[in-house]
Amino acid sequence: MTTIRFPPSLQRLSCLCYEHRMAILKVARLGHPVLRKATAPVSLREIQAPSFQKLIDDMIETMNEYDGVGLAADQVHESKQIAVLEVAANARYPDKPKVPLTVLINPKILPLTEEMEEDWEGCLSIPELRGRVPRYKSIRVQALDRNGQDLEFIAADFHARVIQHEWDHLNGKVYLDRMGDLSTLTFLTEFARYWLKS
Ligand code: NI
């Protein structure tokens, strides 16, 4: 057996290449049992692993690829309490306020008001559909960031909606479970034709 030894500079280079090779992950669709299972909390030790950091990068890449505004780890078949979210210029949600790229690990949310607001939601795991979902208007969020640091902030309106949607995923729920009834459930083509107000 022979061992090929690279000079240290090349070893570093190959390591960097590996770490920065991001991947678009396969998204689980409704019916896959992983979406209905509560996800497991993540330990501080696990957060430090390069493979864990790569999973987060891949989740961000996957969310961007499919024009999502949020993605939970169980949607990419990893039953762990991780969610990523970002609302930039987004083709699926063109009229929504911006939300910076955020990584939430082991998130907890607390409603700050009993006031609920209804608005449209879609989900990468439930393609082609939209429905109106009531959500708390304002919430306090506690989580760890991708470096394991404590994160605490208040989110309102669409920002709060996205976080509640992802938090539901981490608890095995999808937005259909939160709809008062299914009468507004609509395919995207019909959404554009009958529901989208100009
Ligand atoms: Ni979703």
pLDDT of residue 22: 83
What band does 1 get if pLDDT is binned at 50, 70 and 90? low
Whether residue 8 lies inside any domain: the answer is no
More confident residue, 52 or 90: 52
Q: Say what the alpha-carbon torsion angle 101, 177, 137, 102 is, to the nearest 10 degrees.
A: -10
Ligand 1 centroid distance, CA of 140 (Å): 20
> CA 63 to CA 177: how far, in whole Å?
22
**Catalytic positions:** 166
Residue 1 lies in a domain: no
Give this prediction's pTM: 0.87
Q: Would you say residue 195 has pLDDT above 80? A: yes
**For the chain, what is the domain count?**
1
pLDDT tier at 16 (50, 70, 90 boundaries)? very low
Residue at 69 is within a domain: yes
d(CA 32, CA 10) in angstroms, rounded, equals 42
User: 3-state DSSP call for residue 166?
Assistant: helix
Asked, for residue 94, whether it belongs to a domain, the answer is: yes
- What's the CA-to-centroid distance between 64 and ligand 1, angstroms? 14
> How does residue 97 score in pLDDT terms, banded at 50, 70 and 90?
confident
Structure tokens at 178: 């939160």
What's the gap in Å between 126 CA and the centre of ligand 1?
7
Within a domain: 2: no
Confirm if 41 and 106 have CB atoms less than 8 A apart.
yes
Give the mean model confidence (pLDDT) for residues 104-133: 97
Res. 134: pLDDT tops 80: yes
Predicted pLDDT at 11: 45
Query: 100 CA to middle of ligand 1, Å?
Result: 18
Statement: residue 166 has pLDDT above 90: yes
Query: Is residue 114 assigned to a domain?
Result: yes
pLDDT, position 139: 98
- 9 pLDDT above the threshold of 80: no
Does residue 132 have a pLDDT over 60? yes
CATH label of the domain that carries residue 160: 3.90.45.10
pLDDT at residue number 184: 97
Residue 142 domain boundaries = 21-195
pLDDT (tens digit, 9 = 90+) per residue, 29-78? 999 999 999 999 999 999 999 999 999 999 999 999 999 999 999 999 99
Other C-beta atoms lying within 10 Å of the C-beta of residue 170: 24
Ion ligand 1: protein residues whose beta carbon lies under 5 Å: 123
Q: 68 C-alpha vs ligand 1 centroid, how far in Å?
A: 8
Res 157 pLDDT > 60: yes
Q: How far is the CA of 170 from the centre of ligand 1 (A)?
A: 10
